[in-house]
């Protein structure tokens, strides 16, 4: 690594424990890596959303992009932070998730519409705005955008799944959908 890459790697390892996953890819472009790490740190640790919703947004974006590495790295954290296991299973299986908390349900619906429909219905927006305000919704979009970029990177560069984790999605193996070119590129 060049000096700038080593400096970034040390900073990332200091904040996140190690340089793994997407950072190993992003370090090939130090300017991109620095900016992606900064946005990712904000989305994961510092934005206005409570931890369980930051983790839920990450899981939803990971499933939207079938990013198995991201999912495996965060699924336990999401449950520990308070995302119900039944909701986690529903997201993994692409079923409708149900939350006992109105704010969590509004957040889920907002994220689902953004990710799946690319638009948000007026009533969904108003409901989420009532719970999270404009700052919360802007932070939600920033987090979803960051986690989307993360999933795209992990899949495009075929970042290996963690050796100790099972593939989390029933319709994905390797870097493809079952029956559609499953398995990594030669």
Q: What is the mean pLDDT of each run of 10 residues along the chain (186 residues)?
A: 92 88 92 93 94 98 95 96 98 96 98 98 98 98 96 90 83 78 43
- CATH number at 122 reads 1.20.1290.10
The answer to whether the beta carbons of residues 12 and 19 sit under 8 Å apart is: yes
Q: Determine, yes or no, domain membership for 185.
A: no
Q: What is the pLDDT of residue 180?
A: 61
Structure token digits, residue 104: 């969590």
How many structural domains comprise the chain? 2
* Residue at a domain's end among 29, 46, 63: 46
Nearest residue to 137 (alpha-carbon basis) of 113, 115, 116, 111: 111
Give the CA angle between residues 51, 55, 58 to the nearest 5°: 145
Same domain, 95 and 159: yes
Q: What is the pLDDT of residue 186?
A: 35
Q: Count Cβ atoms below 10 Å from residue 49 Cβ, excluding itself.
A: 21
* Concatenated DSSP letters of 117-149: ISS--HHHHHHHHHHHHHHHHHHHHHHHHHHHH
Q: What is the pLDDT of residue 175?
A: 78
The answer to whether the beta carbons of residues 59 and 83 sit under 8 Å apart is: yes
Q: Determine, yes or no, domain membership for 184.
A: no
Same domain, 93 and 22: no
pTM of the model: 0.90
Domain that holds residue 60: 50-176
Structure token digits, residue 105: 């349900």
């Amino acid at each position: 690594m060049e000096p700038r890459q080593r400096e970034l790697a040390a900073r990332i390892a200091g904040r996140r424990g190690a340089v793994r996953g997407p950072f190993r890819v992003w370090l090939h472009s130090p300017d991109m890596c620095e900016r992606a790490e900064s946005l990712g740190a904000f989305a994961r640790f510092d934005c206005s959303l409570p931890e369980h919703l930051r983790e839920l947004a990450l899981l939803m974006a990971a499933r939207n992009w079938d990013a198995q590495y991201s999912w495996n790295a965060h699924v336990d954290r999401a449950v520990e932070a308070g995302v119900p296991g039944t909701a986690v299973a529903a997201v993994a299986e692409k079923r409708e998730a149900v939350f006992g908390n109105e704010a969590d349900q509004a957040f889920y619906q907002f994220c689902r519409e953004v990710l799946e429909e690319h638009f948000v219905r007026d009533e969904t927006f108003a409901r989420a705005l009532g719970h999270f305000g404009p700052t919360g919704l802007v932070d939600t979009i920033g987090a979803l955008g960051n986690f989307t970029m993360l999933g795209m990177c992990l899949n495009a560069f075929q970042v290996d799944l963690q050796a100790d984790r099972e593939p989390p999605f029933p319709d994905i193996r390797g870097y493809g959908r079952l029956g559609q070119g499953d398995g990594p590129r030669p």
